[in-house]
Structure 1
C-alpha cells in the first residue's frame, strides 16, 4: 500500500532584518524609482535631465536659468538646451521684463501641471496606501530614516564632486 501522506514544504521564512537586507531594500526602491523616472521621461518625450529640471522647478518655484543650472548641476549651456526642449514641448515658459535677460524667470506651465497630475498622482496614491498600513510611530521612524538616507546621499555626492 502506498503512503498517501505528502510532505508540504514549509513557507519560506523571510530573512532576519539586518543592515544588509535593509540596504538591499533601499537599492530595490532606488532601482524602481529610476525605472519610473525613465518611463515618465519616455512617455512625455523628454529626457532625465529635463525631468530633473522640472522637478526642481516644482519644488523651488520660478527660477532664473543660472539658478536652475546650479540646482541641477548642469552647465549654463546645457540648461539652455534643456529649457529650449521643455519650452518647445510646452512644459515651461520663460518670461522677463522687457528684453532684460537678467530678469528672465522659468516657470512650469499648465501642460506640465496636467502631466504631473496624470503621472504622479497615481504613484502617490499607491505609496499612500502602502504607508497607511504603518502606525504613527513607524511613520515617524520611516521619515527619520529616509531623511538620514537622503542626507547620506547628498554627502556622498559632495564627496564625489571634490577634486
Structure 2
C-alpha cells in the first residue's frame, strides 16, 4: 500500500512535540529530585513554583489563589502552606491594612536551598540560550506562551468534563 511521505512541517511538528514531552519529563524528574532531597510532597513543589512565579510578577498569591492555581481544595491548600511554612520554604505575610488578607512569600531558607539546587541548572540554561539571538528567543517565547495557553485550555476543558 502506498504511504504518503510526511511533509517537512509534519516531521518538525512531531519532533517538537517529542522534544517538549522529553523536556517535561526531565523537568519533572529534576523537580522530584529536589522534592525528595528536601522531603517535600510533589504538591508542595507545585505550590512553591506558583508562589515564586507570582512573586516574580509582583503579584503575590493569597492562599485561595494558590489553591486555584494548583487545583487544591481549601483544606489541602492550608495543609500544604503549613508544611512549607514549617520547613522555612514559605512565609505568610500581612501587607495590607486588612489584616485578614494574607500573601504568600518565598521564605529565605527555602530560597537558599532552591538556589543551591537549581543554580547549576540556571548556568546551563544561560549557556544554552547564549547561542540564540534575541529574535530567536522571542520566537521561542511566543511559541511557548501559545503552547502553555493550549495546554491550560485543554486542562480546564478536561477538568470541567469530569
TM-score, L = length of structure 2:
0.80
Matches for 1:53-64 after TM superposition, within 5 Å: 53-61=47-55, 62-64=60-62
Q: Which has the larger radius of gyration?
A: 1
Report the CA distance between 1:101 and its aligned residue.
Answer: 7.3
1:93 aligns with 2:91: yes
1:81 aligns with 2:79: yes
Aligned-CA RMSD value: 2.0
Deviations 1:67-101 (Å, cap 9, x if unpaired)? Answer: 2212221100101110121122111223449xx97
Unaligned runs of 5+ in 1: 1-15
Report the CA distance between 1:21 and its aligned residue.
Answer: 1.3
What corresponds to 2:38 in structure 1? Answer: 44
Deviations 1:1-38 (Å, cap 9, x if unpaired)? Answer: xxxxxxxxxxxxxxx75211111111111111111111
TM-score, L = length of structure 1:
0.80
Report the CA distance between 1:46 and its aligned residue.
Answer: 0.4
Unaligned runs of 5+ in 2: 1-7
**Poorly superposed stretches of 4+, deviation over 6 Å:** none
